[in-house]
């Protein structure tokens, strides 16, 4: 029917004009109104009137509008076109024709014709919303939080789009001027704080948060309030910038993400230093197909490197990021993908001799804590000796900067993985004064959405009907997003000086149990009734909390208050060689117990998890580090908190 929409509407308007004119003309003749047009001239006047009004309706494109979405602009255009048409007729009839329709009769025809056109259009909108929509089956009763521009736009689309399966019952908004008033027939029931009380008397099954411009702190407060509601699902509109995309606003409603509940603004760092750092450079990324490595490659590509080299042992991941970058950047990016292991020193020297990288980001590592507890020899070979191979090769081929990806699990480690990552930091420390290459490490916490992250696991478990599994209900963790982690790594590379270790202020740690309960509630379920939460016990090597900083050492703030530098005591090459000799001897025996004992010997801060976990009560507390602010600290651009 869309092909015939304009002709049908034009035909309806013509019939209305014809009917109104004939009826009123007949009425005027019957009652002998002055200056009434005689029957013989009526057809002539009607044709001129019709031609004038039709021309202006076409000039104002009133038939090009989709009246299901009509607003004040469309109605104003319709009225203006009608006024111009009747005015043109009045001028033509008085100047060129022998008789005229009385002015009163002309005004009556104009008013009734416009009223008829509006009635047709309103009738169509009512038909769409009340008849066509009802054919789609039962609809979900929802409330919209936020009666601003985004909320009203969302309401209009939900009311006018046949694909919508929602029926909006009410608004909630903190603006006192809006409370108890109506918007498009929908009442603003109260303030956001009134939602729990109001919903008890209403059959609302879903809340749509449509306040894209609010701060992350306020969003966090609202979501925390809503997380206490039972059997009410929550979805949320993204930021205002995302709404600019030419998509229906309803399609941008998304599920609640754990990031929404972290209670801090996303970290955004100044890209200018990174542009200067990477522009025109040959950059090599090990583990470039992994979660962090692939995001590093995406962001590096935006800074116009001379060449980007992705090195990974797992060909499938490397292929995926290669195809993604080629799709987005095409020939603008000089991209090379090499399949290689950091364990193979000879292969690394071959690659460095071929490409001569200026900057190396080392993201290749075995990272899964329980798996490395079972296979400590693999963690040592890959993480420790693989890093050693890469550091020596970078030194040999004169790399400008080498950035190591580290982890909060390297601080007072309780796992093989954490101990090996602490050794990697020591390897970089040992190069101080020994090389022209700048070696630095970047340490951050859990990465949301990475391979093995708890968030996708929770969502899969909820979708399957539960239960959600947590290893211990006391566990707390620091969280950041993959883009935040990649930004920190690149920023650290830009500001790095010899043998520095950079740490991001990640806000307050988050209790995993709270995340699980909130995610269940915001998915429309009741924790422990609809979706159970089961405690499975700590996994091998797992501790109740992670630390970003070594509490016994002083750390320095940079001029960016979100980035710290930890000044660690140096380790000499001789000390490192002794530690590596102990590990090499343990590897030759290929006994996990011997290798674990060797790690305890070479990493003094390596403790068994039971030693740290048994000291914690019902509420876990993290040791606080001492922070020094120094005038000559390293500068790291601006960030928005």
Active site residue 367: no
Report residue 278's pLDDT band, with 50, 70 and 90 as the boundaries. Answer: very high
Contact at 8 Å (CB) between 269 and 561?
no
Mean pLDDT along residues 299-305: 93
Q: Which domains does the chain have, with CATH numbers?
A: 2-132 (no CATH), 138-256 (3.40.50.720), 268-640 (3.40.50.720)
DSSP 97: -
Q: Please choose, from the candidates 230, 252, 255, 232, the residue with its C-alpha nearest in 3D space to the C-alpha of residue 243.
A: 252
> CA 594 to CA 545: how far, in whole Å?
27
Lowest-confidence segment of 52-56, 74-78, 329-333 by average pLDDT: 74-78
Lowest-confidence segment of 97-111, 409-423, 623-637 by average pLDDT: 623-637
> CA 274 to CA 13: how far, in whole Å?
62
Check residue 333 and give its pLDDT.
94
Report residue 113's pLDDT band, with 50, 70 and 90 as the boundaries. Answer: confident
For residue range 114-173, what is the model confidence (pLDDT) as tens digits?
A: 888 778 777 776 666 555 555 555 678 889 999 888 888 888 777 766 667 788 889 999
- Within 8 A by CB and 6+ apart from 156, the residues are 69, 184
DSSP 527: B
| Residue 383 CB-density burial (10 A; 0-12 exposed, 13-18 middle, 19+ buried) | buried
- Residue 105 or residue 255, greater confidence: 105
> CA 521 to CA 231: how far, in whole Å?
7
Please report which helix (H) or strand (E) contains residue 183, including its range: strand 182-183
- Within 8 A by CB and 6+ apart from 256, the residues are 223, 234, 235, 236, 519, 522, 523
Asked if the model's pLDDT at residue 619 lies above 80, the reply is no
Mean pLDDT across the chain: 78
Asked if the model's pLDDT at residue 462 lies above 80, the reply is yes
Check residue 360 and give its pLDDT.
97
Mean pLDDT along residues 38-45: 60
- Residue 89 or residue 552, greater confidence: 89
pLDDT over 90 percentage in the chain:
29
Check residue 236 and give its pLDDT.
80
Residue 601 Ramachandran class (φ > 0 left, ψ -120 to 50 alpha, else beta): alpha
Report residue 244's pLDDT band, with 50, 70 and 90 as the boundaries. Answer: very low
Report residue 394's pLDDT band, with 50, 70 and 90 as the boundaries. Answer: very high
| pTM for this model (two decimals) | 0.59
Check residue 628 and give its pLDDT.
41
For residue range 189-236, what is the model confidence (pLDDT) as tens digits?
A: 989 888 888 887 788 888 888 887 777 778 777 887 787 777 788 888
Query: According to the per-residue pLDDT averaged within each range, which of 258-272, 282-296, 621-635 is highest?
Result: 282-296
CA 502 to chain centre: 25
Report residue 550's pLDDT band, with 50, 70 and 90 as the boundaries. Answer: very low
281, 367, 401, 409: the active-site residue: 409
């Amino acid at each position: 029917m869309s092909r015939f929409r304009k002709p049908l509407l034009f035909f309806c308007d013509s019939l209305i004009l014809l009917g109104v004119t004939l009826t009123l003309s007949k009425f005027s003749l019957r009652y002998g109104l002055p200056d009434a047009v005689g029957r013989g001239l009526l057809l002539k006047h009607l044709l001129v009137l019709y031609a004038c009004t039709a021309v202006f309706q076409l000039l104002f494109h009133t038939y090009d509008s989709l009246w299901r979405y009509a607003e004040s602009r469309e109605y104003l255009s319709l009225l203006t076109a009608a006024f111009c048409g009747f005015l043109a007729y009045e001028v033509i009839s008085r100047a060129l024709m022998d008789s005229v329709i009385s002015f009163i009769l002309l005004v009556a025809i104009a008013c009734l014709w416009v009223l008829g056109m509006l009635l047709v259009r309103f009738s169509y909108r009512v038909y769409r919303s009340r008849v066509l929509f009802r054919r789609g089956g039962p609809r979900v009763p929802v409330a919209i939080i936020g009666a601003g521009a985004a909320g009203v736009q969302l309401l209009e689309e939900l009311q006018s789009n046949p694909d919508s399966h929602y029926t909006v019952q009410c608004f909630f908004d903190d603006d006192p001027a809006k409370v108890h008033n109506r918007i498009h027939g929908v009442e603003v029931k109260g303030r956001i704080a009134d939602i729990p009380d109001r919903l008890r008397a209403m059959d609302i099954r879903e809340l749509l948060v449509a306040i894209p411009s609010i701060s992350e702190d306020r969003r966090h407060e609202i979501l925390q309030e809503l997380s206490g509601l039972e059997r009410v699902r929550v979805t949320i509109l993204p930021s205002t910038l995302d709404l600019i995309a030419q998509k229906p606003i309803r399609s941008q409603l998304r599920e609640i993400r754990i990031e929404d509940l972290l209670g801090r603004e996303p970290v955004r760092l100044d890209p200018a230093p990174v542009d200067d750092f990477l522009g025109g450079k040959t950059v090599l990324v090990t583990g470039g197909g992994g979660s962090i490595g692939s995001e590093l490659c995406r962001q590096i590509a935006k800074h116009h490197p001379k060449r980007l080299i992705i090195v990974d042992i797992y060909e499938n991941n490397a292929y995926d990021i290669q195809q993604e970058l080629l799709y987005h950047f095409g020939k603008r990016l000089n991209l090379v993908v090499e399949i290689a292991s950091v364990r193979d020193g000879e292969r690394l020297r071959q690659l460095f001799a071929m490409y001569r990288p200026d900057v190396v980001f080392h993201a290749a590592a075995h990272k899964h804590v329980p798996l490395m507890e079972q296979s400590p020899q693999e963690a040592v070979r890959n993480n420790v000796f693989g890093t050693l191979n890469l550091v020596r090769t970078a030194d040999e081929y004169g790399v400008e900067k080498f950035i190591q990806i580290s982890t909060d699990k390297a601080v007072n480690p309780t796992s093989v993985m954490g101990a090996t990552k602490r050794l990697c930091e020591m390897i970089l420390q040992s190069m101080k004064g020994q090389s022209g290459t700048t070696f630095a490490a970047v340490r951050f916490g859990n990465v949301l959405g990475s391979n093995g992250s708890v968030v996708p696991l929770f969502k899969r478990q909820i979708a399957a009907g539960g239960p959600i599994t947590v290893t211990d209900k006391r566990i707390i963790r620091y969280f950041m997003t993959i883009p935040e982690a990649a930004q920190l790594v690149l920023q650290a590379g830009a500001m790095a000086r010899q043998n520095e270790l950079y740490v991001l202020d990640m806000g307050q740690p988050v209790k995993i149990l709270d995340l699980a309960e909130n995610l269940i509630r915001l998915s429309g379920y009741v924790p422990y009734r609809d979706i159970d939460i089961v405690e499975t016990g700590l996994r091998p090597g797992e501790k109740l909390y992670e630390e970003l900083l070594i509490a016994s050492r002083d750390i320095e703030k940079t001029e960016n208050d979100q980035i710290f530098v930890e000044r660690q005591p140096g380790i000499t090459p001789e000390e490192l060689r002794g530690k590596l000799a102990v590990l090499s001897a343990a590897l030759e025996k290929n006994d996990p117990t011997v290798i674990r004992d060797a790690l305890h010997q070479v990493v003094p801060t390596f403790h068994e998890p039971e030693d740290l976990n048994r000291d914690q009560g019902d509420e876990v507390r993290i040791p606080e580090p001492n922070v020094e602010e120094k005038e000559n600290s390293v500068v790291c651009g601006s960030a928005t908190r």
